[in-house]
Amino acid sequence: MSSPQPSPARFVGAEAPTTLLPHPLLTPILAVIWLLLNNSIAPGHILLGMLLGWLIPLFTLRFWPERIVMRHPRALVRFLAVVTTDIVLANLVVARRILGNPANLRPAFIEVPLALENDLAISILANTICLTPGTVSARLSQDRRTLLVHALHAPDPDAVRTEIKARYEAPLQKVFESC
């Protein structure tokens, strides 16, 4: 007598797990985060990190709305490099503007129309904007087509909008939505 398979309805918005490793990229990322948090590469921490990296995605599978598919992983690596560079450079620029003459700042709220449709990609874009000093994602419209962004210094709102779309949205669209 074989054991019954889990009902697909139990996994809201996702397929029933077909593997013991539902999110292969998340597993090593969680293990590395565990090692960084513990500041140790002792064998016990490595083993526990790998165990947590395997169990957390397995037990949280039913909470994921859809299976994540990355169509261009290299584009994601390039995106992460761009974001990391932008964060470092933006820290320096914001510090210079704040310590220099804050009266010259021209803050603005900018509506950025979104071409992204994937919820994860929209979330990553909004978080990337928040991580970059000098900009904050303020609101996503009800129809998920417009992101309101506050910029600390935006003498040309169109340039800020164009930069967000070119540097952040376009790569995310290539990674998560391209055919």
Burial 155-171 (b: 16+ CB within 10 A, else e): eebeebbeebbebbbeb
The 3-state DSSP class for residue 65 equals coil
Q: Which pLDDT score is estimated for 7?
A: 40
Q: Is the pLDDT of residue 2 over 50?
A: no
Percent of the chain scored above 90 by pLDDT? Answer: 50
Lowest-confidence region among 18-27, 51-60, 121-130: 18-27
Lowest-confidence region among 45-54, 105-114, 160-169: 45-54
**Within the chain, where are the H helices?**
26-38, 43-59, 73-99, 119-131, 157-164, 170-176
The 3-state DSSP class for residue 83 equals helix
| In the chain, domain spans | 8-63, 73-176
User: What six digits make up the tokens of 132?
Assistant: 């970059």
Q: Which pLDDT score is estimated for 88?
A: 93
User: What six digits make up the tokens of 58?
Assistant: 């397995």
Q: Which pLDDT score is estimated for 18?
A: 53
State pLDDT tens for residues 59-108. Answer: 887 777 666 666 777 888 899 999 999 999 999 999 999 998 888 899 99
Please report, as a single letter, which amino acid is at residue 13: G
* Mean pLDDT of all residues in 141-166: 94
- Residue 82: Cβ-neighbour burial (10 angstroms; 0-12, 13-18, 19+): middle
Tell me the whole-structure pTM to 2 decimals: 0.70
Identity of the highest mean pLDDT range in 3-7, 19-23, 56-60, 92-96? 92-96
DSSP H or E stretch at residue 71: none
d(CA 161, CA 154): 10
